[in-house]
Amino acid sequence: MKVLVTGGTSGLGLAMASALAATGASVALTGRSGERARSVAAELPGAIGIEMDVRDESSVAEAVDQTWSRLDGIDMLVNNAGIGMRTVNPRFMTEPQGFWEVPSEAFRAVVDTNLTGYFLVAREITPRMLASGGGRIVNVSINHSTMQRAGFVPYGPSRAGSEALSRVMAADLRGTGVTVNLLLPGGATVTGMLPQDLLPEDHGFLSPEVMGPPIVWLASDDAVGVHDERIVATEFGPWVRDRESRQ
């Protein structure tokens, strides 16, 4: 399995890239800093690091072309790159900000990364997958409650948009051999998106490693043909057992 994980240098992306690499998958992880992406990838078996700014069409095209060449194809895209509320309001968890207080440039920056970025990378890769006979796309999402939480503009709307995008992608690609699924942690997770003054052990946040088992399963033979599903990592065990019992 040849996998491209965007935003793979930390947080959920690194956890998924690590889990996939541990199974023997060939993994390319991306970051805005090519140097950092290469440094992180060097710690994973068989992984490569690629510079990609998901907001920039030319950067996306160049990174996908380079990844396709170096891996000799891409079987799975994990759309994960994103920025959170910390970039807009560093104390968003304790001092939420009304939407009318959000600077327009901050709104655009989050939407450009979290929504437009998913679109640009998937748009670049999908024609290649179709031409090669199939592929898998996994779009990382969040809880619906977070999409609607007070003080969460623009992060909530950006992720709601990416989830709607994923559903439309799944509808457009139904029956083509390219599958599209959603994957989310199922709760607040310890990543760089959290305010620095919040201690994980005091707030019960999830570990990024919760994403490991479901992304490995989605890359496996067991997930062939799985399409348009919304998989919650914290509920993955019961979900997959229930699925197997119905087959």
* Angle 117-160-113 from CA coordinates, rounded to 5°: 20
Beta-bridge partner residues of 181 = 138
Pairwise CA distance, residues 162 & 182, whole Å: 10
The number of beta carbons lying within 10 Å of the beta carbon of residue 135 is 23
> Is 155 a known active-site residue?
yes
Pairwise CA distance, residues 102 & 221, whole Å: 45
Per DSSP, 136 falls in state E
Contact status, residue 124 vs residue 131, Cβ threshold 8 Å? no
How far is residue 183 from each of residues 21, 60, 71, 80, 227, measured CA to CA in Å? Answer: 18, 22, 24, 10, 12
How far is residue 23 from each of residues 20, 59, 92, 122, 242, measured CA to CA in Å? Answer: 5, 29, 37, 24, 24
Contact status, residue 151 vs residue 175, Cβ threshold 8 Å? no
First to last CA, the chain: 25
Distance of CA 144 to the CA centre of its chain: 16
The one catalytic residue in 68, 152, 155, 236 is 155
Which tokens hold the place of 173? 């690609």
Active-site positions read 155
